[in-house]
Amino acid sequence: MDAFTTPLLAGTATGALLLIAALGLALTFGQMGVINMAHGEFLMAGAYTTYLTQQVVTDTDLSILVALPAAFLVAGALGLVLEVAIIQWMYRRPLDTLLVTVGVSLLLQQLAKDVFGPQGDPVHTPGWLDGHVDVLGYHWPYRQMFTILLAVAALATLGALLKYTSYGRRIRATVQNRDLAETMGVSTRTVDRVTFFVGSGLAGIGGVAVSLISGTNPNRGTTYIISAFLVVVAGGLGQLKGTVIAAFTVGVVTAFFTDWFSSSMAQVLTFALVVVFLQLRPQGLFTLRTRGLA
């Protein structure tokens, strides 16, 4: 019985984590076309923010709640700095953003190592998250439910932002044709900055969730970044719906493979599966085709 519930529930939680990371990417990559390889380090920044918050707010029960907005702001601010300092010069060269942000990611990792030490720092789980419910033999940790909740909340907020405010249209217009958007009165500079702030901030939220799994660690970001990118790609660019489905699918499928084979093989098989899947649907789950040669 638990042979089924464990991978399903644990995989859903992994999927939720991937979703939070991927939502940020869906904005910066999917909507803006920037391949930010430092997104994982923004996640790491969120984790360190959680650690620092616990140094200040020593009541662990409270500190996580303080850490959430703090991590959002810290990671968002890092994203903003990145945008202003580097990315804004590169919107016409999407593939180059990838290389530049690899450099940023190296810098941030080394910086974390020098500031916080190469040894990770502990993050304490608050009392109200410390425990589990028994679901058909699986001791489902509260922490995993909390991660899922976070993901749903992030998704709902972002979805509403994109769907019900004119901001959503402006981001999409900006990425589809920057100059044209500008001549339609869209201040693409503002759009870029807001988008990068929000997208990076989401990584910070993901960092809080990650820190509850394993504390902080200068290399932690790299663990999630590639899976998160795969999720965005498999989900289809510019489509939140696809990102959600892809995140949970990858999470659950990986969990089942882990259960049946091993963690390593699960990674390999999941990657292979995504590659095969893209053979079937080259533009991801949800495709938006246009005419002509574009």
Find the binding residues for other proteins in span 144-183 (CB under 8 A). 144, 166, 169-170, 172-173, 176-183
From the number of C-beta atoms within 10 Å of its C-beta (0-12, 13-18, 19+), residue 282 rates as exposed
The verdict on 58 binding other proteins (CB under 8 A) reads no
The verdict on 265 binding other proteins (CB under 8 A) reads yes
Site string for other proteins, 194-223 (x = CB under 8 A): ------------------xxxx-xxxx-xx
Q: Please state the closest distance from residue 229 (CB atom) to other proteins, in A.
A: 5
Among 67, 71, 100, 253, binds other proteins (CB under 8 A): 100
Q: What's the start-to-end Cα distance of the chain, in Å?
A: 50
Q: How far is CA 172 from the centre of its chain?
A: 19
Which residues lie across from 140 on neighbouring strands?
A: 133
Nearer to other proteins, 51 or 72 (CB): 51
Q: Please state the closest distance from residue 145 (CB atom) to other proteins, in A.
A: 11
The verdict on 77 binding other proteins (CB under 8 A) reads no
* DSSP assigned state of 31: I
Total number of residues that touch other proteins (CB under 8 A): 107
Site string for other proteins, 238-257 (x = CB under 8 A): x----------------x--
Please report the sign of the dihedral spanned by the C-alpha atoms of residue 104, residue 69, residue 12, residue 131.
positive
Please report the sign of the dihedral spanned by the C-alpha atoms of residue 128, residue 217, residue 228, residue 258.
negative
Nearer to other proteins, 30 or 201 (CB): 30
Report the run of H or E that residue 139 belongs to, with start and end.
Answer: strand 138-141
Report the run of H or E that residue 68 belongs to, with start and end.
Answer: helix 60-85
Nearer to other proteins, 114 or 153 (CB): 114
The verdict on 92 binding other proteins (CB under 8 A) reads yes
